[in-house]
Structure 1
């Protein structure tokens, strides 16, 4: 595969009679190109050629295994067109590296008929309006598309497993994409309770290259009816696909960090469109992108009625975090909580239930600032943010790891520091003092706790690391809301509500005494959405706001990162569609990685190109053309192109 953009096309080679049997479409081969051997795939076999001149021969067939199926090839080409990328880059994401020993292993016998699946209990889906109709459509093999709002207390993995079982029972295959390994494991357990374990395959990066390739081959050879995996599994070579599912599409891990930077949700929906199969996006929260699918009519809402929702949700209380020092409760001042929130925690602990405390960051004090002028404390070597890893320890840079035992503000010279954000371990320490004798459990970073007991305990967790309690938490405290809502990010409000809802969904319902306390001003729209438990309304308002100001998904936007000369040259060569609007240039946003191939001494800028929803493919094609021209010339440094990036800056 040639990663050079201007060579992103097919090349013809002769196949010798000795190679003919193994040189099948989709097979891996080695060819000589410009004097060197390169890896390639056979796209098709033809009796004629458009090439003028003498054709080279295939050097050898690496493997006769047809790893590039016709459906995956169409998907690869569509993703490259959508994200202004090269097919070689997408193929690296879609097809794992070969392991010859695994290919030589005897292939397991595959049952000729689909596995027997018992009729699916529809009671779980019947709680949602149109839920039963969606399940019935899967049983009939129809291409139903839905955006599903999960009720608090409901098991998304059980419902996904039921949808997959209904699809497999109809004789087709299903694909489920989830953010991380915890979700893979949860859905796996739910699926094998309904579908024969021998035809359920889990694909994730944590398996290791050998095991993952072995399982991927099993899918390719027809040994899987359901594939569960993380973002790269969206390209799994399933035949006769009947359903594509995505859970929690707002999670950042579903965005591919490698070129051409596709989002697994968009690839999954593109695959559903190309295959003509059903699609399901589910989660406790809702993204503006998912709401756009509903608003356009491409997908249908699957939500519970307000009466069902009210019976399932906990009571949500918002408390302003100003004035803690004025409270009479000394424990409240110590634990950074209003006394009302502490009282809710005490009530739950007294009743024998665990209490969940969600904090935005792990660590002790993960961010520091000057105590006098409030300037963020940064490393004197690399300018990275400084943090306190433990009580009484020296400040350490979160980027380079160097310590700074003698902090002094670069602006005012003060040696006083203050915490910008309090981490999970510091919070656990403070709450341990506020609740002496109570078990304190911390779940964050590399020490994630999967489950906790029903007994009284304080569980301090970062977003996404919350353990599950068998009968739910008696209360949840959501701290440091300003650290989430105050981020300079297009998706700050959306992501904050998603994290809050995921934690609040683990709390018992109102009738069972469940209480969620969020330390934030109740007038903030995101807080109101949590109190009303209205992620659909919040997503609809978010989409309307983005439509007014011209931001994705209401429009398509390309971010071009590179040195000024290269970005200017790319825009000159790209045949941008009529009406394309240029925004910028601006300096590369903080936290964004420098584009590869740009020398360190050159400044990097970001230019945004905005077009309407109907011109997304035209914009991508224009940028691909410009990239190819500059690549052929070799006169400029590479420019990183991202279509509809998660973080615009």
Structure 2
């Protein structure tokens, strides 16, 4: 091979160095230094990791090229189509290619590489580990998938299209009581036995484990590649090698798996696409939903989104013809629906009055639903929007929010069984046993928001002798048995009932998610309610869902009518009227007043760009790196929006502006996020 020049990408998180550099290939590395391998090069006086992108006969560099120091591994880890995808996403998201590559490829592990592929390198079909012929596995998986999807309009047609490689694109709305993991697993197994690669993305490790467990009905453990942050570095790297070398055909993972180079990709499935966990919290803040759509279109693969709810982004794709709607038949939906009702104004007022008195806040209708479920031998689910005991406090006299005297952070009460609770700062953790209101000087506090611990305490007193299970983000319970017990959970942490459903569900404090200062507040609240209601038994079996809130609110009515389609259409129409995503493309520039101004001065505006702000960073949005909570008042946000036709130009111009700012050695904190989940 007479190509002595290697073009490499140094893996450096520096915007202005996000380009290819030429190096000389020593004669002893001619055979191993192939495109896609990881190499070590000397850059600016130090050894750094890099990816070899291509080999050339000549170079445009006038000086003497430095040699590649060594090839880290002869196994190519960046296929050509992954490199093209990384380049497109970097330009679209105003990020760097090295950041994206590092998020995809696990660090090299020599022992895992020496162990080689699984099963001694056997093909995927031979890893089944049984004496059942492949043809019978194909027939069984296809029949089971067709049966599982027969309750959906065009469901069997979707299965056939995915298995035959006709790349279907669908938004699937699942009815209550149906386990989405079983549905997705059946489709994935049938597609895999049809000799196609499958990538399943789920928002949490719990959802990944549920899909993997369901896949074991049709596939062996060796045929399922699970990729989450819970695996060890050696396991992740060995599984990545199996993926990149084509042995792994079914990959199930969280958001970190969204760019894994699955060979012969035929189907991408995304569960719960509206969940914020599908957004990478690291630059360039990619969303698995957007990456999945790009992959499906670029690699001509099928794409299926599943969930009880639909976001405005998916609704726009449906209206553009990029996705088709697949939902349950009317008979199937009626058969599975629980009774859903909301309490009236009088009961909401009574609950609020009871809360002030400290004796409870659950309306009588909810108590009746819980009691009926327990008497029927089923568990009851109570969804509380906040975890903890009392995560928000206020002055008892003037109702001003209780703040920490050290850092001005919010005070909360943390449930303590052995000692009285003391107001404690959520930011710095300092207790304030001698609280004094900064506005009126009064020393008393009241609980304005109650968490799941306080709710569990109230229910334990109201239903003596009934077990109370608590589940929240910091202590998730995966499943509960079908027996009389009360489950108090925060959104997303609701346990499933083993071999059954809840007899009732009560959705408390709906004003809290609805009142959040966020563009997606109503959409997120409805999704959380629908996901909880989907765990309840049908109305014919006594299943009941009670929302303790105003029944005339639009989101509450959409829940009662079980109208995810209407909710998505209404949300998209509101966004179009306000000119916010997904109707337009938006970039959020976060930092200090100085850093935001520096970027805007370096920025070359694309056509029809509109700059809003800078304004103080919205509450609840994570601070940019370099700003501490004590300096949160310095954080600013500027919103830049353009029509979709100029989205790529916006990402490219912001990427260039960051390069210029880096060259000028600007040090003030700055973060650029394209189409952020939280806008304000």
TM-score interval for Structure 1 and Structure 2 normalised by the shorter chain:
over 0.9
Contact kept in structure 1, 2:390 and 2:447, CA below 8 Å: yes
Deviations 1:142-195 (A, max 9, x none): 111111111111111111111111211221110011011111110001112112
Aligned twin of 2:325: 301
Q: Which moved more, 1:588-597 or 1:415-424?
A: 588-597
Residue 169 (str. 1) matches residue 193 (str. 2): yes
What are structure 1's unaligned runs of at least 5 residues? none
Alignment of 1:448-467 (within 5 A): 448-467=476-495
Q: Which moved more, 1:430-439 or 1:237-246?
A: 430-439
- Separation in 2, partners of 1:431, 1:103: 54
Residue of 638, 655, 679 corresponding to 1:624: 655
- Going from structure 1 to structure 2, the CA distance change for 1:464 and 1:177 (only over 3 Å counts) comes to same
Residue 36 (str. 1) matches residue 74 (str. 2): no
Deviations 1:42-70 (A, max 9, x none): 00112222222221110111111211122
Aligned twin of 1:364: 389
Deviations 1:244-282 (A, max 9, x none): 111011111111111111111111111111111001111
- Separation in 2, partners of 1:503, 1:295: 28
- Separation in 2, partners of 1:565, 1:482: 37
| 2:152 partner SS | coil
Aligned twin of 1:65: 75
| 1:349 partner SS | helix
Contact kept in structure 1, 2:354 and 2:361, CA below 8 Å: no
Deviation at 1:294, TM superposition (A): 0.8
Deviation at 1:326, TM superposition (A): 5.5
- Separation in 2, partners of 1:426, 1:216: 44
Contact kept in structure 2, 1:175 and 1:244, CA below 8 Å: yes
- Separation in 2, partners of 1:289, 1:549: 15
Deviation at 1:388, TM superposition (A): 1.0
Q: Which moved more, 1:6-15 or 1:205-214?
A: 205-214
Aligned twin of 2:305: 281
Aligned twin of 2:408: 383
Aligned twin of 1:576: 605
Deviation at 1:321, TM superposition (A): 5.8
- Separation in 2, partners of 1:489, 1:592: 10
Deviation at 1:106, TM superposition (A): 3.7
- Going from structure 1 to structure 2, the CA distance change for 1:130 and 1:447 (only over 3 Å counts) comes to same
Aligned twin of 1:644: 675
Task: Name segments (4+ residues, structure 1) moved above 4 Å.
Answer: 321-327, 329-333, 597-602
Aligned twin of 2:86: 76
Residue of 178, 189, 206 corresponding to 1:182: 206
Aligned twin of 1:337: 362
- Separation in 2, partners of 1:343, 1:461: 19
Contact kept in structure 2, 1:334 and 1:434, CA below 8 Å: no
Deviations 1:474-504 (A, max 9, x none): 1111111111111111111111111111111
Alignment of 1:171-250 (within 5 A): 171-250=195-274
- Separation in 2, partners of 1:330, 1:374: 17
Contact kept in structure 2, 1:325 and 1:333, CA below 8 Å: no
- Separation in 2, partners of 1:325, 1:629: 57
| 2:673 partner SS | strand
Contact kept in structure 2, 1:178 and 1:246, CA below 8 Å: yes
Residue of 453, 464, 485 corresponding to 1:425: 453
| 1:38 partner SS | strand
Contact kept in structure 2, 1:28 and 1:42, CA below 8 Å: yes
Deviations 1:571-605 (A, max 9, x none): 23322211101101102223334333579879332
Deviation at 1:617, TM superposition (A): 0.6
Residue 143 (str. 1) matches residue 163 (str. 2): no
**Number of residue pairs aligned between Structure 1 and Structure 2:** 648
| 2:22 partner SS | coil
| TM value normalised by structure 2 | 0.92
Residue 111 (str. 1) matches residue 122 (str. 2): yes
Deviation at 1:636, TM superposition (A): 5.6
| 2:138 partner SS | coil
Aligned twin of 1:401: 429
Deviation at 1:404, TM superposition (A): 1.1
- Going from structure 1 to structure 2, the CA distance change for 1:318 and 1:565 (only over 3 Å counts) comes to same
Deviations 1:279-330 (A, max 9, x none): 1111111111111111111011011233321221100010136456759x99
Deviations 1:382-411 (A, max 9, x none): 222211111521112222221111122111
| 1:206 partner SS | coil
Aligned twin of 1:518: 547
Q: Which moved more, 1:583-592 or 1:492-501?
A: 583-592
Deviation at 1:637, TM superposition (A): 3.4
Q: Which moved more, 1:577-586 or 1:394-403?
A: 394-403
- Separation in 2, partners of 1:79, 1:247: 22
Contact kept in structure 1, 2:203 and 2:275, CA below 8 Å: yes
- Separation in 2, partners of 1:82, 1:169: 35
- Separation in 2, partners of 1:219, 1:325: 57
Contact kept in structure 1, 2:117 and 2:238, CA below 8 Å: no
Contact kept in structure 1, 2:391 and 2:413, CA below 8 Å: yes
- Separation in 2, partners of 1:431, 1:598: 41
Deviation at 1:110, TM superposition (A): 2.9
- Separation in 2, partners of 1:194, 1:3: 42
Contact kept in structure 2, 1:598 and 1:637, CA below 8 Å: no
- Separation in 2, partners of 1:511, 1:273: 43
Deviation at 1:80, TM superposition (A): 0.6
